[in-house]
Homo-oligomer: A and B are copies of this chain.
Amino acid sequence: MDVNSSESTTKRPLILVSNDDGITSLGIRTLVELMQTLGEVVVVAPNSPQSGMGHAITIGEPLRLYSTEIFDEVDEYECSGTPADCVKLAKCYVLKDRAPDLVVSGINHGSNSSISVLYSGTMSAAIEAAVEGIPAIGFSLCDYRLEADFSHVGEYVLAITRAALQNGIPKGVALNVNIPSIDNGPIKGIKVCRQAHAKWQEKFDYRKDPYGRGYFWMAGEFVNYDHDKEDTDEWALKQGYVSVVPCKYDLTSYEVLDNISSWGL
């Protein structure tokens, strides 16, 4: 199998870290500290929260990039753009000719399982790296709080990252890793699974501003159509397992090509 492998690298791997909650978030601090035990770390991350940015990139507007001093012994930058912008700018400008051995994104404050992968800025950084042919993993903790408890994640983040560096991630794929909140009990292990068939059922809260004009807040409920399917990320997380879903950026639905072709267009 054609893999993005760094097995032949004898020196410490070069690891690019990004996220979507912004460079000052607790999640990226946790991830940087963990990655420092494995390799040389460079951080390029948004200067503001970018949750829900999907795979947005900045077209038609300038990008800013400034060095920061948030972490210990890390080459680090904050960027005015999206997570995908951060990976592009890191590759082309910050790292120039040094290709990272791995891109990791997160640790997101909140789940990016099942359909949320579409809206996820965390995963867009990982998928952007995969497009560039770089092994990549997005990590998310199922705890939305700013002060989320990351105390239990290290073992799983390191195990998955080490395995990815050793085995290589197949080309065209980025891993979507979600970790249950420790509030729901001890973690049972790691499951490789598929994206559950689910969606957000939105409910918009309509209000009036102080000037009498209407506005909406998006809210919603998560609906899992695959609630009884044991091969899905939602099932794994609910049972207390870390979920690992390999995600690809070739969106072609090969299964229906014949069906559409039969329309006789």
CA–CA, A55 to B250, complex, Å?
15
Taken together, the copies of this chain in the complex come to 2
Per the 8 Å Cβ criterion, residues 117-155 of A in contact with B are: 117-119, 124, 127, 131-132
- A160 pairs with B265, CB closer than 8 A: yes
Q: Is the CB of B199 within 8 A of A92?
A: no
Which of A6-14, A24-32, A37-45, A83-91 lies on the face that meets chain B? Answer: A83-91
Flag if B60 contacts A163 (CB, 8 Å). no
Chain A residues at the B interface, C-beta cutoff of 8 Å: 1, 49, 51-60, 62-65, 84-85, 88-89, 91-93, 115, 117-119, 124, 127, 131-132, 159-160, 163, 167, 170, 172-173, 175-176, 189-190, 192-195, 197, 199, 202-204, 206-207, 209, 213-218, 244-257, 259-261, 263-265
Q: Is the CB of B199 within 8 A of A132?
A: yes
Contact sample, A vs B, 13 pairs, CB 8 Å cutoff? A1-B259, A55-B119, A56-B56, A57-B218, A62-B207, A160-B265, A173-B253, A194-B257, A195-B250, A244-B265, A246-B252, A246-B260, A247-B252
Q: Is the CB of B92 within 8 A of A175?
A: no
Q: Return chain B residues, CB-CB under 8 Å to A254.
A: 194
Given contacts A55-B55, A194-B257, A248-B251, contact A213 B118 (CB under 8 A): no
Can you name the residue of chain B whose Cβ is closest to the Cβ of A49? B60
Q: How far is the CB of A136 from chain B (nearest CB, A)?
A: 13
Complexed CA–CA distance, A199 and B171 (Å)? 14
Kindly identify which residue among B124, B132, B247 contacts A253, using a CB–CB cutoff of 8 Å.
Answer: B247
Question: Contact at A131–B159, with CB atoms within 8 Å?
Answer: no
